[in-house]
Every structure is written in C-alpha cells, then in structure tokens.
Amino acid sequence: MTELRQELKEKIIEQLNLEEFTVADIADDDALFGDGLGLDSIDALELIVMMDKDYGIQLTDPKEGKEIFKSIAVLADYITKHRSK
Amino acid sequence: MGVAITGMGIISAIGHSVEENNTSLLTSTTGIGNLQHIQTIHSQAIKAGEVSLSNAELTRQLQLPEVHNYTRTGLLGLFAATAALENANISDLSKYRTGFISSTTVGGMDMTEKYIKQFDKDITAQKYIATHHAGDSTRKIADALGIKGLVTTISTACSSAANAIMLGARLIKAGKLDRVIVGGTDSLSKFTINGFKTLMIQSDSICAPFDAHRNGLNLGEGAAYLVLESDAVIQKEKKEVLAFLSGYGNTNDAFHQTASSENGEGAFLAMQKALEIAKLNPNQIDYVNAHGTATPNNDLSESRALQRVFGKKLPDFSSTKSFTGHTLAAAGAVEAVFSILTLQQQYIFPNLNFKTPMPETGFKPITSGVKKETQHVLTNSFGFGGNCSTLIFSKA
Amino acid sequence: MKKVYINSAVTISAQDTFESDRFLKSVKKLSGKTIVARYPNYKDYIATANLRRMAEGVKMGVTAASKALKDAKITQPDAIITGTGMGCIDDTEKFLNAIISNDEQFLTPTAFIQSTHNTVGAQIALGLQCKAYNNTYSHAALSFEWALMDAQLRLQQEEAENVLVGGYEELGKEIINYRRMMEDADGFGIQVPYSEGASFFVVSSEKTEHSVELIDMEAHSTLSTTSIQDSLKQFLAKNNVDISQIDVFVSGRNGDVFDSYYDLTAELFENITQLQYKHLSGEFYTASAFGLWTAYSMLSRQEIPEAMIFKGEIKFDNHIILIYNQFKGRDHSFILLKR
C-alpha cells in the first residue's frame, strides 16, 4: 500500500506537471482538489485516463472521480480494490 | 435597423443548400447519425452530423481540378460561400469594395492528421504541409471568389463565426467596406472527435439539448456564410433584404479555459451588449436560437444566463444542434442562417429529443415547429476560452 | 473620428528585447533553420500553478501582454485582441501525436484544450478577470495586422479607450520543420531562420508622454508587383501624407524572391533610410509585430539601431515611419506611424 501511494504521488506530479511539488510535499490524507494540491476538473479528467491506462479501472462519469480522488489514501484504497492491471 | 443581409449559403448534415436545410428543419429530420467518411476507433461510440458529400463529390460539384490541395474545411467553405454570393445575386465583385471574413477552428487538420507522418518523403502528401494553418481555407475561398482586399480569418473556438459576422457588420458600419461575405467553416476530424472524447462530453446518442438527462454533444461539420451589404448598395442596386443584423455582443466569461461559469456571466453580458446595440428591450425578443450544445455544463450555464437576461418572461427558445450537431467554428453562421429562416417564414424550429426539464430551471424549449409572429431573433455562440458572442437578427 | 495611439510596446524575441532596455544595441546573429526565442523568467509574471499547462507560445503571450499593460499603466483593457498564424501548434502537435501513437486511446485533455487559437487571449482574460471584448485572428501573415485593425476600429468608433493587442507564435516541433524543408527545396526561399515570439501593445485613444500615433493601416490579401506602388500611393494620399514626409521605411525583408516587392516600394522614395528586421527576429507569421515594436521604439526613443540598417544612414530627427510587410507575395500590410 505504501508503495502504491508513493507511486501515485510520483505519477500525479509528473502527469499533471506539478513542478513545485515533490513526493514529500504530499501527505497521504491531503486533499488533492481545492485547497490542498489545488487540482481542478481538467486534472480529474487526466486522472481518469491514468486509472484506465495504468490500473484498468474505467470511470465513465467524471462525477465519480470526486469521491475517489479525495486524497492519495482514498485513491490508493480504491485502486487496490478495483484494479485489473 | 442594422446591417442588411442579402444572401446566405449553407452546407450541413441536414442539407447542401438553404432549401434542403429548411426542409429538414420543417420536417424535424436530424442529420446526426453514424460516421461515413471519417475512420476512427470511436465510430461505434459516437454519433455525429457529417456532411454526406465526400471530398471527391465536393470537388466535382465545385468544378475544381481533380488534383488540388483544398482541405475539407476549404471545400465546405467554398461550397457555402459560392452559394451565398449566388443567393445575393452578385456576379460583379469589382463594383464595390468587397471583403471576406471567414472562421475556422480546425483549419486544415483533416489533411494534417492523415498525412503528417508522410510529410517528410511523400510528394503527394507534401502539398498539405502549407494547408494546416487557419488562413489557408479562407485565402483559397477568397481567391476562388475573386476577393482581393480585406480578407481574414477569426478563430475563437465555437464562437468564431458569430465573431466573423460581427466584424463584417462593424466594417460596413464604419464605411470600410460596401459588401462583405461572413461566416465560418469546419470539417470533422479525428483531432476534434478525440479531443471532445477526452473531455467526456460527447454523446453516444442524438443529443438532447436542455434535457435533464442530456449526456453531451454531437460533433458536426459544415459551413455557412451571409452576405452583408451597406445601405448605399441596397438603395443603389434596389436589393431585396432577407433580414437585418441589428445587434451583436462579444464578451469573455473569464472563468475557465473550457467550462462556462455557473451563473453564465459571459453569456449574460454578451446578450446584454447585443440588446444594447440593437436598442431593444429583452421583451422584444421573440425567439432565442440557443447555443444549447447539450453538455451538462453549457445548457445549465446558458439557461441561468437566459434567466438573468429575460427574468420570468423567457421567450420561446430551442437549440438546433440536435439537427446539425455542433459545427464548432461554423455554428454561429449555421444558426444565423436558421435564425434568418425563422424571420422569413415566421416559423420557429424545434429542439429535438427534449423530454424532461432540468430541475435547476424547469425550462422547456420549443419541441415541435410552430408558426409565430417573429420580429427579433437572438442567437448565442459560446466557445472554449470563455469567448461568448450573441447576434440579434431582425425582420426585413 | 478619434485618433489612435500606441502607448506601450513589449516584445519577446530571438534577441534580448524583453529584459534589456538597450534597444537592439547588441544583437545576436541568427543562423540555422529555426531558432527559439529568448525566454524570460515566466515566474515573474505567471503563477506557477497556471504555468504548468502552458506551452511556450501561451507563456510568451501572457508574459508580454502583462508587461505591455504594466508599461502603459493599464489594469483592465476594454478589449483583448490577439493574432497568431499557426496558433498553439505545440499542443496541437502533442495531441495529434498522442492520437497517432496510442491509436486514439488513453488520451488526456490538457493538450487538446490548450490547442485552440484563442488560448492566449483566453488566458490573459482569465488572469485579469477581464470580461470585455475578446477576439483572435488567425490569418497567416496578416494575423497580427487584423488584431491591430480591429483595435483601431474599436478606438475610432469609440467602442473602447484602451485595447490590448498582440501577436504571438511558437515554433512547435514538427510542422515547422516540414515547412522549412519545403522552403529550402530550391534556392529562392526565405533566407532567415524560422523563429517565434510574442509582441504586445496597448493602443489607446488617450495620448500619453510615450505615445506614438498610429496614423492608419491597410491590408491586402493580394497585390501584384505592378500595382504595389499605386496601392501605397493611394494609401498615403488617403491619409494626406506626402512621400517626402516619410523618414524611415521598415520592410519585412527575409531574403526570398518576393523581396522585389520591397525594392519596388523603395523606388518611390529618395534618400530614405531603409530598415529591415527579420534577420533579427527570424521569420514567422506574426514577425511583423516585432517590426511594429522596432518602429514604436524608434519614434518614442528617437533612436535607430545600427543593426537594422538595410540602406541609407541613421537620421536623428524622425517623424513618420512606414512599415510594409508581405509574405510570399501575399498578405500585404502598410502601417503608418507618427511621433
């Protein structure tokens, strides 16, 4: 689990071009959207593709992302439960 | 009264002439269906408003040489612009200062995406290296029509053609042109199909604008142009006027690169500005041809803006995108043609596929065609980048 | 009709023109097929969170726009009008290549939404929260000229008092190389590198101490070599400017065969100072905005950079400058400026 969380942080920083962040800056429970990391709806779409491509999880409604992308911890839990890759 | 419109031409998924488009609108026949010309892995997952003519058929009908480097955007544009000039009975272009203002978002993308990996070696592909940019189709059309002076291209995403029409009117009002052909053209491309797919706002069925259960837009393609002429030319040539462009507004939502603001601020301001230029009160608008793309975000935001402009007295409204699909840059001109048809026939076209009002507003568009006394029509076009434009057409 | 003034001019180019105030005193000799601009430190102008999605053209455009507004002491313009020939070509190529290499699967939206031609105008508006008139022209070598003409029209018709106008271009990575390849296929092509940049201006109906007057401008989609002289004469006559009143002629020479248009135009003048700029800026669809920046700077500073001389000598008391640009014998524009 720790490994997956670490991997997700790295991916998010790279994929979303978050130059000013390092893995150490993101706590497992930090909010990814809004006040936390400051991600927005376009980032949510980027993450949806990442879920599909890297973990075989298909989300069809962007709204589903709201809960799943709450924090690294929540996201890692969801992926562990649903991954097919 | 505004700037006189003396001609129009159109090609879209519902017809290759003004008459054919009108017939489809009157008979509630949509042009949205399965893709015929474009090869994409998404062809089963989406519906689109494709123009039925192939590039070869367009080439033949336009009497172009078999070998040319027109992109599909250029072919569609030339087809509609030629028709607009004919409709305005203009044969001698040198008689007056005539301009051409076109618009496009994809430009030559339909060819670029086919041939980019052959550009380095394949001589037959190389003729499309120079056709990628947005100005290429405009220049070809202007050359084919014989327009040499003021020629330009606007590219403000899905509000492009509305801005082209607006610029033409301003140039005529300022006395810089006597006559101008204005509008837009966009062909379907894998680029836009995939682009809208990534935004998850493309529907797998025929779109349902303003419906509570709307699930996204259908892309379309097409081109449409209007001919605007100055009062002096109208008088001198004793020209028949189809309608007047009486108001226009261009604003920016300044909210998000792609999404519209929740209260539709940009749209609200654009409509207000157009009313101000037309010197009309909201209650004088008889019909609104809405942008109505059928994405959850647009239709709610536009409804809120309509609510703010019109208050409790909302005029009849509908979105004709359930006929043509969203023709991107061309949409503003396609819907300008439909708005003028409404004024000419005193007939409002329906919004197809609407069943359930959205809970936030309870708005119900016109769902079957209806005869109605119509003096002023307002039409909206909004785009990525917050670009919001409104045009108001008035009965001749 | 209200007069039109240019109240500030900023350019990011292949030369040190953004950070330095030394107006082309030391220039870099450009060579090669393509050359990138000198990128400023964007973080001084754009929040890091916003920078992460921006390609070079957007960064250059937003940065140059921001400085042009600051220089003119304007916080909210009444209109934002941009011009770009190739648009956001970098993100366009990025998204297109993703489509091709992934066979239309696993595509993400960022490059697509940043690829529309109006991205720069939109990002400026977003940054300023400016809800005013916003337009983008994309018409090859007249893209910037049309943006400026739209601004002129808004000011003359009293639809605005201060308009932010700019042209931008980014090289991208692919199509530009094919264009260069075609250009170099015979020996008569463009002799300067293809490049990129962003030039922004505040044009206004208010005169300030830094103002340069835009007397008038004109654009022609086509002009033949036999009609170029007459067209220019008519343009000058329309503005009551005699050929002898023009002190400096700035042309868009790029070394290709169509430079003959500039030669023909220059024949009309006696002993005029002829300047060129594309050997300094490189060639691109909105390079003429760099040309306008040089002319604005010359009039407001009363300085002519040595590096720009094509023919004639440096004069010190200059009042009227004529700028003429065309691209491949098409898309001709005349711009007339007065001190």
More confident residue, A60 or B264: B264
Q: Where are the domains of chain B?
A: 3-237, 246-395
3-state secondary structure of B101: strand
Interchain proximity B257–A48, CB inside 8 Å: no
User: Mean pLDDT lowest for which of B3-7, C241-245, C291-295, C315-319?
Assistant: C315-319
Indicate the residue of B198, B256, B257 with minimum beta-carbon distance to A45. B198
Mutate to test the interface with A, among B46, B197, B200 (most CBs of A within 10 A): B200
Domain boundaries B246-395, corresponding CATH code: 3.40.47.10
**For position A35, what pLDDT does the model report?**
79
Q: Which residues of B touch C223 (CB under 8 A)?
A: 148
Report the alpha-carbon distance of residue C96 to residue C90 in Å, rounded.
10
Q: Does pTM surpass 0.80?
A: yes
What domains lie within chain C, and their CATH numbers? Answer: 5-204 (3.40.47.10), 213-338 (3.40.47.10)
The stretch C211-236 carries a mean pLDDT of: 97
Decide if C99 contacts B167 (C-beta within 8 A). no
Is there a catalytic annotation at residue B291? yes
For chain A, the structural domain boundaries read: 2-82
**Contact across the interface for A49 and C108, Cβ inside 8 Å:** yes
Residue B376 is among the residues annotated as catalytic for this protein: no
pLDDT at B328: 98
Closest CA to C269 of C251, C245, C300: C245
Task: Report the neighbours of A using a cutoff of 3 or more CB pairs below 8 angstroms.
Answer: B, C
Residue-level pLDDT at C49: 85
What's the CATH superfamily of A2-82? ACP-like (1.10.1200.10)
Q: What is the CA radius of gyration of chain C?
A: 19
d(CA C71, CA C291) in angstroms, rounded, equals 19
ipTM over 0.95: yes
**What's the pLDDT band for C271 if we cut at 50, 70, 90?**
confident
Question: Across the interface, which of B149, B154, B384 has its CB nearest the CB of C220?
Answer: B149
- Of the residues A41, A50, A51, A53, the best mutation for testing chain B's interface (the one with the most B CB atoms within 10 Å of its CB) is A41
Helix extents (H) in chain B = 18-26, 55-61, 72-87, 109-115, 123-126, 135-145, 160-173, 190-198, 231-237, 265-278, 296-310, 321-324, 331-345
Q: What is the pLDDT of residues B151-169, one digit of tens each?
A: 999 999 999 999 999 999 9
Contact check, Cβ <8 Å, A17/C113: no
- Quick check: B60 pLDDT over 80? yes
Q: Which residue has the tokens 């101000």?
A: B276
At residue B231, φ and ψ (nearest 5 deg) are -60, -35
Interchain pair B129, C96: CB under 8 A: no
Average pLDDT, chain B: 97
For A49, name the nearest residue in chain B, comparing CA atoms only.
B198
Other C-beta atoms lying within 10 Å of the C-beta of residue C104: 15
Q: What are the phi and psi torsion angles at B382 (to 5°)?
A: -120, 150
Domain range B3-237, its CATH number among 2.40.110.10, 3.40.50.80, 3.50.50.60, 3.40.47.10: 3.40.47.10
